[in-house]
């Protein structure tokens, strides 16, 4: 199959979260399975500074945006250690910035324009490159316009006449919702601005646009695919998603074990596998405690947390628990993250007040993230919702027992320790359902008790987790099935015109 991916993030060019990990790894796995894959990405400043070789293609892209024409250029690179081409859309006014989407807590004011431009630039590039395309796989709201452009403007344009589109939703809460006049930027007729297609409570909604026009849809775990069809997690789009449930799949993200494997990890104090995990983790734990200026205590449980400091990740539950535990329990916390200023302030205060128990690093550090995965005894993820989550999968591989809230991908990938799962030999961690500090605190206590008093059970948890395989090989095959579904759908799904009822 000839597969083109369009995304706003992919490692090592640009990353704010899990989307980048997926788009850096999935194309390589698809290529390994024998498919022809290429990737499109904006040429952000971070992409230019990634150290990857970038060359011009000579292709200029004059793109109509509202009443003006904005010119971009197409550059070319490749994914590391692969032949997968990466096409970078250069337009410095849009993409040569400090960040990808927002600075100092505020979205860039021209985000709609920046990504409408990117979507149109991808379509024009494909026309100019004229290599046949079977599947256009887009990700999240930033590329949500592409399925609409394919159906409305490009369905008879070579080489896209036979192409089908797939949209993967990595996080339904980010929808690309803009005021209605931004519809003019898209260049599409106002007749598509209706409640069944691009409009959402008076706004232009680019994620909804993708959901409506794509031939097939996926999200990043089966549980999340179910959850988003209900009012609690549907973010207002549950009805639209339910109407498309026949073509919606949940596919768990894979882990790139070339990057996340304690047997080969260049960032950690000692490399280890299931055979020497006790020694390896002891060395990595002592090194991490030293690095973070925590007392080097081998038996004090060390709890790791890495990620965006956002409400989604359960910081409102964690804050009181950390505060309470710092005075009552002999555990240490290692926190790495950036995000909302209120959590920066709070964590700084906690670290200042309890330097023996709480170590906080506010920033983005790939290397420290690896050292926390290797050095911590447990990894804590009490997410309010979690489409897939990657850190719990890294934790399993690193012998770091996950303590999670049973939601989305966390529910699909972590098996709670109880009598039944202990007997069946399937437990890999600890989980709870209620979104409350009490439930989190009780589960942490359960985990710490097991750590202190049942060393044999603890060893089993570690061993089972480390031997699981969450690599991309399985997930990539599921994407191929999804692409087949999209191709079959696209033949019967040509009509994009608004119905009487929707106008």
Contact positions toward ligand ADP, by CB under 6 A?
17-18, 21, 306-308, 336-338, 364-366, 369, 388-391
The answer to whether residues 190 and 183 touch, using CB atoms and an 8 Å cutoff, is yes
- Secondary structure (3-state) at 398: coil
Closest-CA residue to 88 (of 41, 37, 134): 41
Q: Residue 180 CB, nearest distance to ligand ADP (Å)?
A: 29
The answer to whether residues 326 and 312 touch, using CB atoms and an 8 Å cutoff, is no
- The span from the CA of 477 to the CA of 495, in Å, is 29
Burial class from Cβ neighbours inside 10 Å (0-12, 13-18, 19+) for residue 67 reads exposed
Q: Residue 106 CB, nearest distance to ligand ADP (Å)?
A: 19
φ/ψ (deg, to 5) at 113: -60, -45
Closest-CA residue to 123 (of 91, 147, 90): 147
In the numeric block, the tokens 């590329």 are attached to 143
In the numeric block, the tokens 């964590």 are attached to 347
Q: Residue 396 CB, nearest distance to ligand ADP (Å)?
A: 13
Q: Which residue number, 123 or 401, has a Cβ lying nearer to ligand ADP?
A: 401
Contacts of 299 (CB under 8 A, 6+ apart): 452
Q: Which residue number, 221 or 415, has a Cβ lying nearer to ligand ADP?
A: 221
Q: Which residue number, 301 or 389, has a Cβ lying nearer to ligand ADP?
A: 389
Q: Which residue number, 23 or 152, has a Cβ lying nearer to ligand ADP?
A: 23
Q: Residue 308 CB, nearest distance to ligand ADP (Å)?
A: 5
Q: Residue 336 CB, nearest distance to ligand ADP (Å)?
A: 5
Q: Residue 238 CB, nearest distance to ligand ADP (Å)?
A: 20
Q: Which residue number, 247 or 284, has a Cβ lying nearer to ligand ADP?
A: 284
Closest-CA residue to 171 (of 297, 308, 301, 274): 308
Contacts of 423 (CB under 8 A, 6+ apart): none
How many CB atoms within 10 Å of residue 135? 26
Q: Which residue number, 309 or 462, has a Cβ lying nearer to ligand ADP?
A: 309
- The span from the CA of 213 to the CA of 96, in Å, is 30
Run of H or E including 200: strand 199-200
Closest-CA residue to 148 (of 211, 190, 199): 211
Q: Residue 311 CB, nearest distance to ligand ADP (Å)?
A: 12
- The span from the CA of 289 to the CA of 331, in Å, is 12
Q: Which residue number, 458 or 479, has a Cβ lying nearer to ligand ADP?
A: 479
Q: Residue 259 CB, nearest distance to ligand ADP (Å)?
A: 9
Q: Which residue number, 126 or 360, has a Cβ lying nearer to ligand ADP?
A: 360
φ/ψ (deg, to 5) at 433: -105, -50
Rg (CA), the chain: 23
Q: In what order do the strands lie in the sheet with 2-6?
A: 55-65, 68-78, 85-90, 36-42, 2-6, 135-139, 164-169, 216-219, 248-250
Which pair of tokens denotes residue 79? 């994914």
Q: Residue 226 CB, nearest distance to ligand ADP (Å)?
A: 18
Q: Which residue number, 338 or 460, has a Cβ lying nearer to ligand ADP?
A: 338
The answer to whether residues 178 and 211 touch, using CB atoms and an 8 Å cutoff, is no
Q: Which residue number, 250 or 307, has a Cβ lying nearer to ligand ADP?
A: 307
The residue number whose beta carbon is nearest to ligand ADP equals: 18
Q: Which residue number, 103 or 366, has a Cβ lying nearer to ligand ADP?
A: 366
Q: Which residue number, 9 or 377, has a Cβ lying nearer to ligand ADP?
A: 9
Q: Residue 388 CB, nearest distance to ligand ADP (Å)?
A: 6
C-alpha dist (Å) from residue 451 to 68, 181, 287, 373, 492? 63, 57, 20, 17, 56
Q: Residue 436 CB, nearest distance to ligand ADP (Å)?
A: 21
Which pair of tokens denotes residue 366? 């790939």
Q: Could you tell me how far CA 198 lies from the centroid of its own chain?
A: 24
Q: Residue 8 CB, nearest distance to ligand ADP (Å)?
A: 13
Burial 157-184 (b: 16+ CB within 10 A, else e): eebbeebbbbbbbbbbebbbbbeeebbe
């Amino acid at each position: 199959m000839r597969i083109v991916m369009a995304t706003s993030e992919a490692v090592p060019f640009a990353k704010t979260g899990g989307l980048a990990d997926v788009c850096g790894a999935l194309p390589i796995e698809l290529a390994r399975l024998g498919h022809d894959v290429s990737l499109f990405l904006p040429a952000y400043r971070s992409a230019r500074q990634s150290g990857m070789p970038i060359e011009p293609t000579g292709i200029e892209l004059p793109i109509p945006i509202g009443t003006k024409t904005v010119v971009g250029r197409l550059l070319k690179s490749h994914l590391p250690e692969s032949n997968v081409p990466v096409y970078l859309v250069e337009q410095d006014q849009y993409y040569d910035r400090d960040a990808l989407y927002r600075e100092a807590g505020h979205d860039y004011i021209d985000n709609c324009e920046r990504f409408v431009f990117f979507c149109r630039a991808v379509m024009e590039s494909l026309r100019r490159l004229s290599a046949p395309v079977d599947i256009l796989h887009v990700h999240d709201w930033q590329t949500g316009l592409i399925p609409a452009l394919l159906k409305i403007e490009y369905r008879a344009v070579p080489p896209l006449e036979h192409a089908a589109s797939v949209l993967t939703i990595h996080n339904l809460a980010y929808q690309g919702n803009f005021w209605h006049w931004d519809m003019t930027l898209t260049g599409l007729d106002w007749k598509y601005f209706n409640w069944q297609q691009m409009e959402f409570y008076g706004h232009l909604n680019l994620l909804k646009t993708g959901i409506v026009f794509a031939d097939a849809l996926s999200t990043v775990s089966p549980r999340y695919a179910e959850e988003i069809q209900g009012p609690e997690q549907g973010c207002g789009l549950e009805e639209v998603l339910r109407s498309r449930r026949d073509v919606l799949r949940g596919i768990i993200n894979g882990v790139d074990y070339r990057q996340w494997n304690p047997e080969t990890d260049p960032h950690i104090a000692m490399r280890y596998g299931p055979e020497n995990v006790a020694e390896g983790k002891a060395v990595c734990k002592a090194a991490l405690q030293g690095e973070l200026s925590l007392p080097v205590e081998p038996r004090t449980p060390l709890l790791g947390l890495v990620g965006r400091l956002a409400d989604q990740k359960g910081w409102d539950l964690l804050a009181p628990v950390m505060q309470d535990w710092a005075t009552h329990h002999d555990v240490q916390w290692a926190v790495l993250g950036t995000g909302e200023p209120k959590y920066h302030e709070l964590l700084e205060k906690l670290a200042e007040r309890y330097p023996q128990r709480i170590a906080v690093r506010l920033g983005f550090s790939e290397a420290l993230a690896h050292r926390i995965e290797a050095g911590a005894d447990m990894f804590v993820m009490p997410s309010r919702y979690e489409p897939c989550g990657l850190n719990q999968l890294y934790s399993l591989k690193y012998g770091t027992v996950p303590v999670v809230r049973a939601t989305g991908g966390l529910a699909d990938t972590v098996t709670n320790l109880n009598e039944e799962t202990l007997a069946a030999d399937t437990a890999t961690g600890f989980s709870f359902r209620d979104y409350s500090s009490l439930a989190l605190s009780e589960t942490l206590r359960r985990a710490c008790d097991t750590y202190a008093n049942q060393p044999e059970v603890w060893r089993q948890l570690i061993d089972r987790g480390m031997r699981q395989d969450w690599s991309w090989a399985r997930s990539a095959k599921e994407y191929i099935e999804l692409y087949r579904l999209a191709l079959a759908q696209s033949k019967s799904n040509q009509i994009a015109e608004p119905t009487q009822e929707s106008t």
